[in-house]
């Protein structure tokens, strides 16, 4: 079967750059939106040029120019948007509504994958402020997609390993603690951790798969369904050093968020749902969804003990 032509919007971002590489690696004609808004950000420009050198096609287009977006969309079969929805970086979820309008007008797209790649927002209707804005806005985008009858796939990739695993779940840091570690409650609530390149690999596999049309795909590699305590124990085994462990209750955790900057409060509320409520693992995937590792058992996904070795 001929591989679909793919347009990646947000291709220089954290997940976007991996999506471009995965698309090229799987043999798709790959297009990357080059937005004039990057201005003098030479690192983004050089990244775009590196994609071009590897075979990607750069397509100029701006969210401020509807016609340019329509023309970009008309060149491909599939659109994948990876614009950031993380407050500590940038938060652009609702900008996708302009992309939805362009896809609707172009009328040729076989599949649209909006910027999701975290918790399933459809399951987060009772999420806490201020982090719930991410889920609310993703649901606004979903509503626009479905009202426009655009074929789609939503990807729930759970926890990005880079943000959650080396820090052993500590909020506000990215590297491992040296002496002591805070456990959320008893530390035994299960979550799901996924290597960012694996997220891209699984995502690209969905785009020509009829089993994933108009469904949510959950990336839940079975050996990466782990508790915070298990991640800590992996680190201790790798380093040969025991960390001092202390626990924080959900009440004290929420109280500790008061007065912190907005980005950390938003992230903290997400941590609450993951580590105290188990929102990533406390449900069964129904008929509206598919599980990526079951669909694509050939993917040799990275286990978290391997991921942690880089930080030893």
User: What positions carry a catalytic annotation?
Assistant: 138
Phi-psi domain of 180 (left: phi exceeds 0; alpha: psi -120 through 50; beta: other): beta
Using CA atoms, how far apart are residues 233 and 237, in angstroms rounded to an integer? 6
Using CA atoms, how far apart are residues 160 and 296, in angstroms rounded to an integer? 19
Largest Cα span, the chain: 59
Using CA atoms, how far apart are residues 175 and 310, in angstroms rounded to an integer? 11
Tracing tokens 């960390």 back to the chain, one arrives at 243
Using CA atoms, how far apart are residues 84 and 92, in angstroms rounded to an integer? 6
279 three-class SS = coil
Strand-pairing partners, residue 184, are 248
Per this entry, what is the length of the chain? 312
Using CA atoms, how far apart are residues 97 and 94, in angstroms rounded to an integer? 6
Among candidates 118, 122, 100, which has minimal Cα distance to 109?
100
Q: Which two tokens stand for residue 181?
A: 């570690």
Q: Which two tokens stand for residue 306?
A: 């391997």
- Residue 146: exposure state from Cβ atoms within 10 A (0-12, 13-18, ≥19): exposed
Among candidates 234, 229, 245, which has minimal Cα distance to 179?
245
Using CA atoms, how far apart are residues 258 and 265, in angstroms rounded to an integer? 8
Q: Which two tokens stand for residue 245?
A: 């462990």
């Amino acid at each position: 079967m001929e591989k679909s032509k793919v347009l990646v919007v947000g291709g220089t971002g954290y997940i976007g750059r991996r999506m471009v590489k995965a698309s090229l690696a799987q043999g798709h004609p790959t297009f990357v939106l080059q937005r004039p808004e990057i201005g003098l950000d030479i690192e983004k420009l050089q990244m775009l040029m590196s994609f071009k050198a590897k075979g990607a096609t750069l397509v100029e287009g701006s969210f401020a120019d509807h016609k340019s977006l329509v023309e970009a969309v008309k060149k491909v079969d599939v659109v994948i948007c990876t614009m950031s929805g993380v407050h500590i970086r940038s938060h652009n979820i609702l900008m996708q509504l302009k992309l939805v309008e362009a896809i609707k007008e172009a009328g040729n797209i076989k599949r649209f994958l909006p910027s999701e790649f975290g918790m399933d927002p459809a399951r987060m209707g009772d999420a806490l402020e201020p982090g719930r804005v991410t889920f609310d806005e993703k649901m606004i985008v979903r509503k626009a997609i479905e009202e426009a009858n655009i074929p789609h796939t939503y990807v729930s990739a759970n926890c990005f390993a880079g943000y959650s695993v080396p820090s052993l779940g500590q909020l506000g840091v990215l590297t491992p603690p040296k002496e002591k570690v805070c456990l959320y409650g008893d530390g035994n609530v299960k979550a799901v951790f996924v290597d960012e390149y694996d997220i891209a690999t699984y995502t690209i596999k969905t785009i020509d798969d009829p089993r994933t049309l108009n469904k949510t795909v959950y990336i839940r590699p079975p050996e990466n369904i782990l508790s915070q305590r298990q991640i800590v124990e992996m680190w201790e085994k790798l380093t040969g050093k025991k960390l001092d462990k202390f626990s924080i209750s959900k009440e004290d955790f929420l109280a500790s968020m008061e007065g912190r900057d907005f980005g950390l409060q938003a992230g903290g509320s997400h941590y609450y749902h993951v580590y105290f409520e188990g929102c990533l693992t406390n449900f069964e995937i129904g008929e509206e969804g598919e599980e990526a590792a079951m669909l694509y058992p050939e993917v040799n996904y990275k286990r978290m003990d391997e991921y942690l070795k880089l930080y030893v």
